Amino acid sequence: MSRIKVMVVDDSAVVRQVVTALLARDPGIEVVAAVADPIFAMNRMRVQWPDVLVLDIEMPRMDGITFLKKIMAERPTPVVICSTLAEQGAEISMAALAAGAVAIITKPKLGLKQFLEDASDDLVSAVKAAARANVAVLRGASARHTADVILPALDKPSTLIQTTERVVALGTSTGGTQALEEVLTALPRVTPGIVIVQHMPEKFTAAFAQRLNGLCQIEVKEAQNNDRVINGRALIAPGGKHMLLKRNGAQYHVEVIDGPLVNRHRPSVDVLFRSVAKCAGANALGVIMTGMGDDGAAGLFEMRQAGARTLAQDEASCVVYGMPKEAVKRGGVEKTVPLSAIAREIMLQLSGVMVR
């Protein structure tokens, strides 16, 4: 297989040197250029277009966000943001994701060289994931735990009494920020309560939820422990925490907890989906969307076994067709639809009907 061709764009000579050396250690990656700003990058890209860009935000002559937008308009290319500005505040990170960045690595101003050494696995993983991303649709290994480490699986079919309270559970990862925006902005205020896991670092989810809240008819907020799940509200699991659905009589709320990584993620889609299977059963709709890996595939299968309806985003509209593909393979998906149809399918769930 050919190696992934990477260009590093950063005004710091130290960063260029260290990032180039770290990426070059992996036999599957080739750094074809390391340049000081987007102007140099554009000149170099006329000669050889990279498979992935590792891009700083704060640079002379042209900032990274402007360059990112230009690249996405001209020739969509996977971009990994690596910037100190991402640490200062999540707002700039949301702007980068909205512009089409596939992943973000935050770097500190102090101890930069050591940080990059420590984060080398994350950087290599981000570059490899980006190389597999289908950006054309965009406008450190740890122990691999399952959801068992957070809550036990169902030991028998769900016998929950159905109520008029319906719950929609959404799980997504790479490409999910744009996908969620398309889905949530299309939903009316009468939408059933929604619980969401979007793989995202700590500190980013609050800004992401706030941005969506300003765009949507429904309320969107970063979940806090014991928040009610009610019609017209979407709760997004906070970065760095797991979120579980809980039930008290006919009412639902969420529990936000610490815990080990599940499928190398916290929050984990599998944890949320399993809790929905246990607490909501046939009162729920599960939706798995664009993302790398298999987080959520097992949980969606458990939801379907518990009587829930289940949807997957189709391959053509996914940035990365990993999570939905695994869910289909394991038998958890009842119906596959394009991104543009997911909001409609959610509303059909109000009547308990799924059009085939």
Specify the pLDDT at position 29: 94
Q: What backbone torsions phi and psi does residue 153 show, to the nearest 5 degrees?
A: -75, 165
Radius of gyration of the chain from its Cα atoms, rounded to whole angstroms: 20
Closest CA to 33 of 46, 15, 45: 45
Name the pTM for this structure.
0.72
Annotated catalytic residue 63:
no
Specify the pLDDT at position 15: 87
Specify the pLDDT at position 88: 52
Specify the pLDDT at position 292: 84
Annotated catalytic residue 148:
no
Report which residue type is found at 8: V
Q: Which two tokens stand for residue 3?
A: 């190696």
Distance CA 249, CA 129 (A): 42
Residues of the chain with pLDDT under 50: 140-143, 353-356
Which member of 51, 83, 120, 199 is catalytic? 199
- What are the structural domains, with CATH classification, of the chain? 4-137 (3.40.50.2300), 149-351 (3.40.50.180)
The answer for residues whose C-beta is within 8 angstroms of residue 252's C-beta and 6 or more apart is 165, 167, 193, 228, 229, 245, 246, 279, 280
Which member of 125, 173, 268, 275 is catalytic? 173
Specify the pLDDT at position 122: 82
**Cis before 267 (ω within 30):** yes
Annotated catalytic residue 173:
yes
Specify the pLDDT at position 154: 72
The answer for residues whose C-beta is within 8 angstroms of residue 175's C-beta and 6 or more apart is 102, 133, 134, 137, 138, 289, 290, 291, 318, 319, 320
CB 179 within 8 A of CB 311: no
Which member of 10, 227, 270, 295 is catalytic? 295
